[in-house]
Chains A and B, each alone.
Chain A
Amino acid sequence: MINMESIIETKNLTKKYNGFFAVKNLNLKIRKGEVFGFLGPNGAGKTTSIKMLTGILKPTKGEILINGKNVSSMIKEKIGLCPQDIVIWDSLTCEENLRLIGEMYNVEKNFLKERTKKLLKDLLLTEKTKSLAGSLSGGMKRRLNLGMALVHEPDVVVMDEPSAGLDPQSRLVLWDYINSLSKNEGKTIILTTHFMEEADRLSDRVAIMDKGELLVLDTPENLKKKLGKGDVVEIKLSKSEMNKKALEMIITIEGVEETKEIGGRIVVRALDAVNKIPKIIDRVKGLNITIADVSIRRNTLEDVFISLTGRGLRE
């Protein structure tokens, strides 16, 4: 259940390295119980932001308030971090890993025993209880990595690229678990990702970042409505050097909202895109250019991002 009361608030949060702004004047309020997504390409400032939120990095400027208190005086058990890299002790068993971190948070002994058991069950690792963490598969390690962030039952769980490197099946298992944490256990979840689908499916609200700055913050639906009206047609020409000329022709078609060249392909966002396709093809053919491929899809957060930055997320 999302509460309108904010649990985390940042004011002009800034991190500067040798004259370079990794994060610049970040102002946001994260609500209790929501899944809050940071979306952006590599180097956008997502990880730096969450490292400041968890106290690993000191901000160059600005303030972080958790439950109204400054982060420097925050209560450590309130936050659990699931880092981007798998951070576990390979020489310890799954159970020992969870217990060690629980002991570091002063979790009561009997409760820790039960909590470890439950987490291993929820994360489908019961059979691997006594196995050394170093011997687990990549997906299992990542699930254990998440368990380490949850063992002390934090109110806020921060996940940095939680599904990076996972196969589609493991990713779905993880997404279900993240959903249940939010919906069933009422945890506030902050996640960073550069997977559109992940942000779209999991987040109640998304903050899109690029070059250290917050570009926009809203629900995925609102963002798509506001910034990505219509559907998207993608065209690949046989000669990509003709893309620029084709773009100039296509934008003149009525109902076409936006045209961009992304990764050598022409991306056209238009209202009633299906009916616009014949016109688009005619205009391109009029330039004596052969079309290699055409596709149509619903707009996504990536299109929102493209609309905002003029670049794709993986560029």
Chain B
Amino acid sequence: MKFVSIAAKGIKEIFRDKKGLALLIVFPMAFMFVFGFAFGSTNSANEPMDIAVLNHDNGTTLYYQNSSEEINFGDNFTSLLENLNYEDSVTHLFNVHNVSEEKAKDMLMKREIACILIIPENFSNAIRAMINETVRTEITSNIGEMIIGMGITEWNTTNGTYYYDAENNTLYLDGKPVNITGFTDFPANYTLPEVENVTAEIVIEGDTGYIEFGRAQSVLIKVFEEYKNEIKRNAKESVSLYFGTDEKYYDFVQSRIKPMPGTESFTIFDYQAPGIIVFALLMMVPAVAGTLAKECEKGTLERLKLSKMSSFDLLFGTLIPWSLIAIIQVIILFLVALLMGFHWQGGNLSIILAVGIGIIGGIASISLGLLVAAFVKSEKHATTLSPIIAVPMSFLVGSFFPLPKAVIGYINGKGFQIYDVLPWTHTVNALRYLLTFGNYDVLYYVVMMSILTAILFIAGIVCFSKNRLKAE
């Protein structure tokens, strides 16, 4: 339990160094004040964002059991955008310009529009594939219930003859019992929709240095995510209805218009506030690196090395007080942001989650501090070098302004951008989703952030232990 003593030492050192503590807390707070003042209150009016939509979608045909329907999801999505309103307002969220590509680019250059939304040719086909996939999954998971609900007891399939014994809730294949949970076979007189291997990508084009672009693209992405979720939800509901009743027309795709949560009076500051929290977490890098470099420079680390303390005790003991600072920073900065007019969309749970995410972001910063401390020669060197790394990094992770698109691959269907190798990019996104948009769908960001933080922490431990904790 020596790490507890090291942690207690760290807490005393941090809180007794009033200047250092002030720099850690007050500096990001000042940032929040400045940004809140500059971009918060002065931009509070609800005005539609001008965007151009280039819809190249060729449409598709949707097949139901006994009928089919021609549909163009590109048109459907465009229409949705045209009719969306700010929350609690009659003002439209977007002013959609249906113009030629040439005209759209010209408008973009003149900053008459915030961005161009390009819908690809196979957009509808990709949506159809998504629906079919949802339907398949839903049907196969509902099959057991269907068997019971429809009173079928025996049927033939290509695999053999199934028999369901309702009394004992047991399914038999050619007389042998089979596991109902893993059962995906379908009665011979029904067909499951085929899932085509089609993917499509909508492109949001614009000037990344233009703040309106950042605002528009973040809302567009959110709208698109909601649109996809709505379609999936509709498909699931239709499947449920299908199994609940008989011989009824089921429309797998519907759309409705609802106000966008998080847009009540969306300001640029609402976009930036979560980023400033991450900026504050990154500002811990010089402090952590400086503290550890000071231990080396003053010889206290050598004294600790001579004792029975292990590398784990030192590094885990260092992690605890700085994680505490991360919690304090997230809470204080959130409160300052609210004071400055931040439109918080999440519930109380979003704050708890944001603190948890802040801790992971903080651990990433501590890990970077360990890495820096492993290579610097003095505290001065650490405090000079660290901001050169941390400040540009805060821009690179999108703390203040949106980033240009730079996809290098795909993970779980999501585009993986070059900035995504940095854990704080996911911290910014997760905090923005939670606090700005009130969207709790942050699992991907939390998982990515945790994996990258773990990698960075291990790298920090290995380098620091090798360079600083071993006998020379």
Contact = CB atoms under 8 A, between A and B. Distances in A.
Interface of A: 54-58, 76-77, 79, 81, 83, 85, 87-89, 91-92, 96, 100-101, 103-106, 132, 148, 152
Given A76-B308, A77-B308, A91-B17, A83 B303 contact: yes
A85 B299 contact: yes
Nearest to A57: B472
B302 A56 contact: yes
Given A57-B471, A57-B472, A104 B13 contact: no
Contacts of A87: 298-300, 302-303
B197 interface: no
Contacts of B471: 55-58
A187 to B, nearest CB: 17
A58 B471 CA distance: 6
A91 B303 contact: no
Given A55-B471, A76-B308, A106-B308, A92 B13 contact: yes
Contact of B16 (A54, A76, A83, A91): A91
Nearest to B301: A87
Interface residues of B, number: 20
Nearest to B5: A103
* The 10 nearest A-B residue pairs measured at CB: A104-B307, A87-B299, A103-B5, A91-B13, A91-B16, A58-B471, A104-B309, A87-B303, A105-B307, A76-B308
Contacts of A85: 298-299
Q: Tell me what chain A mostly uses at the interface: helix, strand, loop, or mixed.
A: loop
6 contacts: A56-B471, A57-B472, A87-B303, A89-B13, A92-B12, A104-B308
Contacts of A106: 2, 308
Contact of A55 (B5, B299, B306): B306
B12 A96 contact: yes
Give chain B's interface secondary structure class.
helix
B308 A81 contact: no
Contacts of B309: 104
Interface of B: 2, 5, 9, 12-13, 16-17, 298-300, 302-309, 471-472
A255 B175 CA distance: 123
B17 to A, nearest CB: 6
Contact of A100 (B9, B17, B299, B472): B9
Contacts of B298: 85, 87
Given A76-B308, A83-B299, A91-B17, A58 B472 contact: yes
A100 B5 contact: yes
Given A85-B299, A87-B302, A92-B9, 12 more contacts: A56-B302, A58-B471, A87-B303, A91-B16, A92-B13, A96-B9, A100-B5, A101-B303, A104-B307, A106-B2, A106-B308, A152-B307
A276 to B, nearest CB: 49
A77 B304 CA distance: 12
A49 B16 CA distance: 37
Contacts of A83: 299, 302-303
